[in-house]
Structure 1
């Protein structure tokens, strides 16, 4: 009888000890915790409930092929959970009331419970399978990153007045109410199906990213603190007023339907990307802080960059340019320049033509020439009906009227060939390929200047 009583007592004791240990479903999660001496303070092969409750630090178990965080509920006093790049379906943090930061990006999560995390300020839950996130109790939330949840289609942020950064790019969300988020400083809705957005209450907004959405118009007139505005790939947007956004330093409006862009009030602008639009005229003479400028694929006919001495990147290819002035005194700072596919552009005004020819990442059409003063080629042009042909020419240029005192020069002003007699054609077969100016005196005494291309 005594023997049976002893066995019973031992059984109860063992069972009592086991009841004090945290139960885990995933061996990788348990192994991480057991191996953390700040958590496993007694150094055994288990985590006692008392050890879990005593821990007030960060659990960082990222990238450990964990399929379940069962047992996390015992860590009631942790302040930060980092568990990104794992593989579990749900994340129940109902009992983790002290959490301030959670990073569970890229873990396959379809459900997350954070209703009791009242002190939560940062939630990073992007690249998962979430369809819904309830943040109605998380009034302290400042950062919410839920981008790349392709099935996420419902999000109510009206209970998050302290939200400062919100990322929801590449989700299924079609509408947002941000009228209660007056502290918002960063907003990313890129790649969503949102077609309309009211930003009138978000006056503190510094950064707004809305590329590749369904927006047909955008009003940022109240967002006077905007520094970064990215509005590319919104084919339905044809106009954009940034005249009130005087703090802008970065503006990207490429691949839209914009026909007119006024940046004369954006004096702090350092980056302007407006390629693949329908812009016919653009004045950036007041944007003297501009460093990067890309306006390829538009309908520009003239462009003056002579006031933009900080430029290091220029792309103006695929336009209808006839004049281009790059002479800003600091051409040596321009690490990339491209003006190809502008067939009407025969002269590009630069600081030093010889140096420009040797810059490794400067690209132009072969029919265009660098010159210190392209204006010389057109300043004395007399508006007459004189025609030179063929142009481009290979051998002989013909004149529709006789010319005398003929001078042929390149775009740098160097005289290549002269003829003082009155003639109706001139042989240029010995000239190198390039762009030239022919000047002469007509029978009526007018000075005539014409450009031609030698093939």
Structure 2
């Protein structure tokens, strides 16, 4: 009887522990994982990676608030392995800045193709990032300190500003971007830039020695490459 009693007690204790563990997970909501800063017009500005894990899927809403702007600026986010923002249908602005070049980031790809309202993209010091898929409505793109060698801007008819700095970009085709007003590419591997199809260009920055093809009224500045 004593042995049977002990077995029953052990089973009950095990069940209680399982219930407690499950209940902890059940009570972790999106509000516990994602923080919308009301002082920044409810921008999503913090993610608790301990609760989300390194493979993060950002929800369309946090509580009753729709996510429309994401701003992640901290080396802490170098712990992110993947970032899925396909559910954020109302997203208009996306920024990630990891600071410091040796943050150990593993993020290799960002896909904005489902974010039809996204107009502003700012990605800095994300050294592992090799590919970005843009949405068609994007107007402003800033890439600095990535490992992106090529970009596809073909369908970005509304693009007004493209900036790329400190990375291995090898070529840039802007022939399908008639509304471009500013191109800034510095410390890259680009040797020539054709601006024949960019009649609205006002400002160009390229590295010294880069060949600019086509007539333009834009102001041109040459960047002295970093040693």
Interval of TM-score (by shorter of Structure 1 and Structure 2) = 0.5 to 0.7
Equivalent of residue 146 in structure 1, options 96, 103, 114: 96
Aligned: 1:137 with 2:91? no
Report which of the two structures shows the higher radius of gyration computed on alpha carbons.
1
Aligned length: 181
Query: Greater strand share, 1 or 2?
Result: 2
Distance in structure 2 (CA, Å) of the matches to 1:206 and 1:120: 24
Is the Cα contact below 8 Å between 2:192 and 2:213 reproduced in 1?
no
Aligned: 1:243 with 2:192? no
Aligned: 1:264 with 2:215? yes
Distance in structure 1 (CA, Å) of the matches to 2:201 and 2:138: 17
Distance in structure 2 (CA, Å) of the matches to 1:225 and 1:116: 30
TM-score by length of 2: 0.68
Is the Cα contact below 8 Å between 1:100 and 1:117 reproduced in 2?
no
RMSD value over aligned CA atoms? Answer: 3.2
Relative distance call for 1:261 and 1:160 in structure 2 (3 A) is same
Equivalent of residue 174 in structure 2, options 192, 210, 220: 220
Question: Which consecutive residues of structure 1, in runs of 5 or more, have no partner in the other structure?
Answer: 1-69, 85-98, 278-455
Is the Cα contact below 8 Å between 2:60 and 2:67 reproduced in 1?
no
Distance in structure 2 (CA, Å) of the matches to 1:83 and 1:133: 24
Distance in structure 1 (CA, Å) of the matches to 2:162 and 2:221: 15
Deviation per CA, 1:250-308, whole angstroms, max 9, x where unpaired? 211024x42x324632x2x3x4212448xxxxxxxxxxxxxxxxxxxxxxxxxxxxxxx
Distance in structure 1 (CA, Å) of the matches to 2:176 and 2:196: 11
Q: 2:45 matched to which residue of 1?
A: 103
TM-superposed CA distance for 1:113, in Å, is 5.5
TM-superposed CA distance for 1:187, in Å, is 0.8
Relative distance call for 1:198 and 1:154 in structure 2 (3 A) is closer
Q: What aligned pairs does 1:92-241 form with structure 2 within 5 A after superposition? A: 101-104=43-46, 114-117=58-61, 119-127=66-74, 128-129=77-78, 130-148=80-98, 150=103, 151=105, 152-171=107-126, 172-178=128-134, 181-234=135-188, 236-241=189-194
Is the Cα contact below 8 Å between 1:82 and 1:104 reproduced in 2?
no
Q: 2:4 matched to which residue of 1?
A: none
Distance in structure 2 (CA, Å) of the matches to 1:72 and 1:215: 37
3-state SS of paired residue (1:248): coil
Is the Cα contact below 8 Å between 2:123 and 2:143 reproduced in 1?
yes
TM-score by length of 1: 0.36
Is the Cα contact below 8 Å between 2:186 and 2:223 reproduced in 1?
no
Deviation per CA, 1:388-441, whole angstroms, max 9, x where unpaired? xxxxxxxxxxxxxxxxxxxxxxxxxxxxxxxxxxxxxxxxxxxxxxxxxxxxxx
Q: What aligned pairs does 1:26-425 form with structure 2 within 5 A after superposition? A: 73=31, 80-81=36-37, 101-104=43-46, 114-117=58-61, 119-127=66-74, 128-129=77-78, 130-148=80-98, 150=103, 151=105, 152-171=107-126, 172-178=128-134, 181-234=135-188, 236-255=189-208, 257-258=209-210, 260-262=211-213, 264-265=215-216, 267=217, 269=218, 271-276=219-224
Relative distance call for 1:81 and 1:72 in structure 2 (3 A) is farther
Q: 1:36 matched to which residue of 2?
A: none
Is the Cα contact below 8 Å between 2:181 and 2:202 reproduced in 1?
yes
Query: Greater helix share, 1 or 2?
Result: 2
